[in-house]
Chains A and B, each alone.
Chain A
Amino acid sequence: MAGIGGAVTTGRKARWTVLNVLVVAYALFPVLWIVSLSFKTKETLGDGNFIPRAWTFDNYAAIFSTTEFVRALVNSIGIALIATAVAVVFGTMAAYAIARLDFPGKRLLVGVSLLIAMFPQISLVSPLFEIERGLGLFDTWLGLILPYITFALPLAIYTLSAFFREIPWELEKAAKMDGATPGQAFRRVIAPLAAPGVFTTAILVFIFCWNDFLFAISLTSTESSRTVPVALSFFTGGSQFEDPTGSIAAAAVVITIPIILFVLFFQRRIVAGLTSGAVKG
């Protein structure tokens, strides 16, 4: 019995493993190809080999030697972090109110935020361009942070209110009875329990800001606020006749690193079932 059972599970395991490897390989192949490109020398760039025949770090050295890229990296990190922080803080408060309180205009608020999330961004680009030029926000960090927050907030509110609804109401009542002010109850009981939701939201919002190309290319014009996705598209190589493929590949690899770090850092905090044990049944 045990032998047969064991064989079955081993067989299943093997099949799953093969399937997983296939899916992961399919998804990661383009990424690996870019990585491979970024390590190739100019001469071997077009040889079609997956494993570079001649390895070089020149592409990386090149992009980091230009202020164009380094400055864009700083802009990207700064803008994405600020937008994420603001969206998550306001999103948390709004989601809490939506999940817990009954206030006039609640449905309207939810409806409007849904509307914003569905609004095609491309149709907002020209008006935003005009408005930001008028307000002097064009080509500034704030000029990008504001639209990012606008589009990230609905996302944050939706994700977070789902998490808040999972937290038993009674915990809050218990905190009140234990002598907590509403603020204390929120900070010391509700917020820690909503943490997985907050981190999940932070990751989603960060990725959204980090990857944005449309707003970044339309609302910036100089290095002072240009983000990496845009800077990449401006890469020209050392001289007019140089092929920038190697540099672009290297830059593409570099900009995935913060995302991976961000996800890894927060993922450890996304512990499933954090609320288990609070209430019975």
Chain B
Amino acid sequence: MAEIVLDSVTKQYPDGAVAVRDVDIEIADGEFIILVGPSGCGKSTTLNMIAGLEDITSGELRIGGERVNERAPKDRDIAMVFQSYALYPHMTVKENMAFPLRLAKVDDATVEKKVRDAAEILDLTQHLDRKPSNLSGGQRQRVAMGRAIVRSPKAFLMDEPLSNLDAKLRVQMRTSVSRLQKQLGTTTVYVTHDQTEAMTLGDRVVVMRGGAVQQIGAPQFLYDNPANLFVAGFIGSPAMNFVPAALEDGTLRSALGDVPLTDRVRGLLEGTEAPREVIMGLRPEHFEDARLVEDHVRSTGATFTNQVDVLESMGSDKFAYFSLSGEQATSAELAELAADAGSADVPGGGVSLVARISATSTAVVGEPAEIWFDADKVQLFDPNNGRNLTYRG
């Protein structure tokens, strides 16, 4: 066990592509940290540099206080779980798990015991003598985990370890990974582009974009206080709604109507050089069917009326989709997020909005509904550089 420090680490591939730029991350001993970001943002590259599978172009990597840039993977005492599992097909489950111990020249009795223990934890005891090709996806995944935990390394690195599993198994394995990490207390760096995994698993989340770190923090903190448009749009599902707005004399004018700034927002804006044109961000859960909002709460927000395009009932609540007239919010960050979500080509007919409203709402598809939103929860972003103007850091 050890802490891992990346000190302005940069990776430039031989073809000139800079995959990771000036990344600073301090990972505490025993911490579970998640690297998340869209495809190609350099997550795997970062992980491979920590592992020693890729050279570090510049910067320093320290594990347990020692510089390890030049050390071979085997001398870093780190275990890795690959997305493809990478099990040795010619070895049984037992031999697969014993392999790191055999290489470390551990004596037979200890190997036997450690493999048994790991198999016990991962519920693989009855499969020990089978070959990987005869196992299910979930079992293979657990064998890959087992191979990582047997030798009690200083840290675990996992590169999208659950992405090859079907949805149900993924949820199940997510919980077991989390439990396992807590139980072993081993420093873990976990790469994913599934933001549910990012929110639920880690102590802290590192959001990356184009090789650079956007923000590091606890999942809830990132959710509540995204540093910029990118983080705001990336974390949360359904994603935050973005509406272009204009700031005039303490009033926010947008397709949702004119709203006076609340004291909290005003306070946060103070001292920042807020431009006149901003992008307003609102989480789906900060909306409600206006009829269900009590009067004293109602005054803290504003309402607008629009036709409901689609209504999805989730049982516990409903998702209402609207398209408001007016321009869509545009910025480089939002374009990238849309591209990553695969929705870049959807013809933009005005501003689309998702609201999570109570299951008891009587809103009907195709009919206008009056929707209330909590003006105090508004986040304002600078469209030029994506910075969160209401950031509380």
Contacts and interface: CB of A to CB of B under 8 A. Distances in A.
Nearest to B14: A102
B236 interface: no
Interface residues of A, number: 26
A175 B84 CA distance: 14
**Chain B interface size, under 10 / 10 to 19 / 20 to 34 / 35 or more:** 20 to 34
B103 A180 contact: yes
B283 to A, nearest CB: 35
A275 B89 contact: yes
A91 to B, nearest CB: 21
B53 A277 contact: no
A281 to B, nearest CB: 6
B74 interface: yes
Interface stretch (A8-16, A35-43, A166-174): A166-174
Nearest to B77: A179
Interface in A154-179: 168, 170-171, 173-179
B168 interface: no
B184 to A, nearest CB: 17
Contact of B78 (A173, A177, A276): A177
A279 B90 contact: no
Contacts, number: 85
A280 B87 CA distance: 10
A177 B51 contact: yes
Nearest to A176: B73
B391 interface: no
B82 interface: yes
Given A173-B53, A179-B74, A277 B86 contact: no
Interface of B: 51-53, 72-74, 78-80, 82, 84-90, 99-100, 103-104, 131-135, 137, 140, 147, 151, 164
Interface of A: 168, 170-171, 173-181, 184, 188-189, 192-193, 273-281
24 contacts: A168-B84, A170-B84, A173-B53, A173-B82, A174-B147, A175-B88, A176-B74, A177-B51, A177-B73, A177-B74, A178-B99, A179-B74, A179-B104, A181-B74, A184-B103, A192-B90, A274-B90, A277-B135, A278-B88, A278-B89, A279-B82, A279-B85, A280-B164, A281-B84
